[in-house]
Amino acid sequence: MHDDRSLVEARLKRVLDERIRPAVYPESVPLDVAVWNAPGEPVPVAEGLAGPAEPIAVGDRWGAPWGTSWFKVSGTVPEAWAGRTVEALLDLGFDENMPGFQCEGLVYRPDGTPVKGLNPRNQWVRVGAPVAGGEEVLLHVEAASNPVILDYHPFLPTQLGDKETAGSEPQYTLARMDLAVFDEDVWNLVQDLEVLGELMQELPVEGARRWDLLRAVGRALDAVDLQDVGGTAAAARAELADVLATPAAPSAHRISAVGHAHIDSAWLWPLRETVRKVARTTSNMTALLEDEPDFVFAMSQAQQFAWIKEHRPEVYAKVKAAVAEGRFVPSGGMWVESDTNMPGSEAMARQFVHGKRFFLDEFGIENDEAWLPDTFGFAAGLPQIIKAAGSKWLLTQKISWSQTNKFPHHTFNWEGIDGTRIFTHFPPVDTYNCSMKGSEIAHAATNFKDKGVAQHSLAPTGWGDGGGGTTREMIAKAARLRSLEGSATVTWETPTDFFTKAEAEYTNPPVWVGELYLELHRATLTSQAKTKQGNRRSEHLLREAELWAATAAVRTGFAYPYEQLDRIWKTVLLHQFHDILPGSSIAWVHREAEKTYAAVAEELRGIIDAAQRALAGDPAGGRALVFNAAPHARGGVPSGAAATAATAESTRSTPREGGGHVLDNGLLRVEIDGRGLVVSAYDIAADRETVAPGAAANLLQIHPDFPNMWDAWDVDAFYRNTVTDLTDVDELAPVENGVRIVRSFGASKVTQLLTLEPGAKRLDIDTEVDWHETEKFLKAAFPLDVHAERYASETQFGHFYRPTHTNTSWEAAKFEACNHRFVHLEEPGWGVALVNDSTYGHDVTRTVRDADAGTTTTVRVSLLRAPRFPDPETDQGVHRFRHALVPGAAIGDAVREGFRVNLPERRVTGEREVAPLVGVDNDAVVVSAVKLADDGSGDVVVRLYESTGGRAKVNLATGFRAAGVVATDLLERPLTDAPVPESNGAGVRLSLRPFELVTLRLTRG
């Protein structure tokens, strides 16, 4: 037989595009359209419906950037259409290639009832099926003219990312506003042909099944009368029935499709627009659930449910009803799909606390899975947090984006720093916007790494980011793929259904230990420094507010601010979303974040001040008290206490031969040369130099920074090929206990204070940068005389190790990584820590010196970047950072100094000292939270963990009468399978594994 395959495939494409798809709507009449452009920000629905609309025609321009236009569309169904299905086709000017990244709309009835969303791939509204003819149609559309930020030529700088700079030029052209007859036979023929045509492309040419499909498609096309598609569609479908009915092989890969609409809580749009994106999408999905009995839709992020509950109660009512039916599934159990690299220990825990509690309170649902398809890598401390929240599974997708190494598993156990293992799945479909294309389904099956031992994978199915979610076309395709020879099988299932089956079939999955590092988007650890600083400072202020408010409540009857703290926590958690905290959102988002963090700080300082004054008593007493919120004693003040601080002698400062200054406090001797660089940091007791021979620390270095793509997200390895050391100094002057250094470079200026405080074995470095560079990367280098093959990096509830070498491509790919408050490296018996108050990105490299064959290990902290997309003014302006170099530090010293730089002492005048509410007798054990129980019972909740990576016995002493103690999960619920804490006369005795996290709930007597 002659090979006519290409001829039939080309015929299929043209006939579908030019004849069959257009015949889905064979008849149409125009609607009348009027529009009211709401001034300013979005208005309530009632106001939008009543707005003074004026006529507008198809072809007219509409929609200033970030504006809202209320369209009123009206018309009459022709009498001749009686008995047929009629839909309104409302095309606001969509580009079908950009679902989620342009204009969108929500359709309302005249009474304000939401109908469904309008999106590039979802432009129809059902009028009647069938109609009687003569019906009057009146619909209102709340249309958002969100500008296109990520265009066909991506990553170009644009001023459209902030309403203050976006201008008023209309963004869209009204394209189609019609009533039309919907021919369901033709629509089904389109789905049949698309499924078979796409499957055909994925099958081997030499296989019989491909030719069976080809011949059936050819016969179907022969049966179509191109002048009467509607009249011949049924005959064409009959030619395809047999090949569509041939079942899949028993060995076929099995896909659990989960309806999905990944909605970034902010990204290329502001937070307020996400509220409306969620309302549009959930309106679509609740309507689809009513029409499709097999369909299941899952939505994560409790914040997004809370938004529509507050702002769109009419939509929320539909969501809540669908959740009660079990087919609209709240998933993930987190407040938002947060970044997991940068949030601190307590913040990461509270993501689950607030997310799971919302779903429990609103729906009575407990999530077993964490759902993070788009997060930019996963910190090694996360498995223990997931388990402590009462969950046991994790789903993500983003690791498939790694540039260098392909992850070896799709289903596996992920082991965290304490040994906790979480059953984890990466969907091999490699997208969280699956559309049921044949290429996607085939890719999931062929890409699946666990063939032979597992058969199931998950496919999140639907357009995200306001693209409208799952479509009726996706559902139709899934129905045809339920069991189809040559394809993986597809079944709509909940995340729980999938994980239960996957775990049952794969009883001994492989294990991955340590962080899940994304080999991409590394610059998100540095971009938008003020957002990151706001997050870090908010986290520590929340620690202080809870600690002092709880202490004051127990000691003085102070009114514990439950609702206020709950609200503030949710605000901070929202801003940890994986496009806000990472610095990858538009200017509008980060401008608002800066204001929000300032308001949060003011409010928390108010709580702290009120609680401390309640504890300290009458300021007329005249005693200067130091409140210590750090988890370790300092200056003679115990952790969680207030007392008169001890004083220390001053640091000696002398001129340095050759220029510069020498600082000496009896513990460290630091030499700062005439360039303002640290050329020596000598540990006097250890008789040991810290800085590598011939090198200089606190060396500011600047690199060009123009990645190949994803400007705010990425830093590519070639940035290191060019570096400029900033050694010119404008000013070098002694100050109390240190020196002041001023440098200028480019259009920017740096002022640093290097201080060696009396009694402190550390060099404090305060840096102010007035930054006005473009596409540059600023780092501070610390070349250390330490031979170390690995270094410790703090993460949630502990630390983990990364190599300093690049033996393999996996290690070489980690050229920019995340730490929290410290990095630490050591030789046996002696180490160095570098601590920070608000930076996350860093790199560590090692070289061998020619002169003495010794090893120099260089730690560099990442300070600032200047990408131009999506915010063309990223990080311009003044920034302040605090770091400290701590020679002779053991890992416990690194932990202690990391807390010190983030939790400054507070001085209050009062009449009485304050004893700790709780205390521990082992410095290896860190108390990460002291608070009152969220249920308002008055119980005291204490969370603690082993911080050094060893085993620890500890006594938790209570400064109040404790009538009982239980171990709980993060939601403060008793653990039935945990050993009862051992209580003795001096407190509670615990034995902790390395990095073990424990939450205790103490009932007050």
Tokens 């290639």 -> residue? 97
- State how far the Cα of 157 lies from the Cα of 711, in Å rounded to an integer: 10
The whole-angstrom distance between residue 344's C-alpha and the CA centroid of its chain comes to: 13
Burial class of residue 534 (count of CB atoms within 10 Å of its CB; 0-12, 13-18, 19+):
buried
Query: Distance of CA 885 to CAs 565, 668, 690, 753, 827, Å?
Result: 34, 11, 9, 13, 16
> For residue 884, which amino acid is it?
A
Measured between alpha carbons, how far is 995 from 797 in angstroms, rounded to an integer? 6
* Residue 778 β-bridge partners: 702, 864
**SS3 state at 683:** strand
Q: What is the DSSP code (8-state) at residue 11?
A: H
Provide the CB-side half-sphere exposure for 792 (13 A, CA). 27
Burial class (CB in 10 A: 0-12, 13-18, 19+), 34: middle
SS3 689: strand
The Cα–Cα gap between 828 and 838 comes to 29
Burial of 496 (0-12, 13-18, 19+ CB in 10 A): middle
Rounded to whole angstroms, the Cα distance separating 713 from 831 reads 33
State the Cα–Cα distance between residues 566 and 571, nearest whole angstrom.
Answer: 9
* Catalytic-role residue among 368, 374, 430, 770: 374
CA distance 279 to 276: 5
How many angstroms separate the CA atoms of 968 and 946, rounded? Answer: 17
Which residues sit opposite 697 in a β-bridge? 678
Token pair, residue 146, equals 């969100």
d(CA 943, CA 270): 35
- The answer to whether the Cα torsion of 578, 580, 582, 585 is positive or negative is positive
CA dist., res. 556 & res. 545, Å (int): 16
374 noted as active-site residue: yes
Structure tokens at 775: 């596409």
- Distant-in-sequence contacts of 725-728, Cβ < 8 A, 24+ apart: 725/699, 725/700, 725/701, 726/699, 726/700, 726/701, 726/702, 726/750, 727/675, 727/677, 727/699, 728/675
CA 715 – CA 717 distance, rounded (Å): 7
- Please give the positions annotated as active site: 374
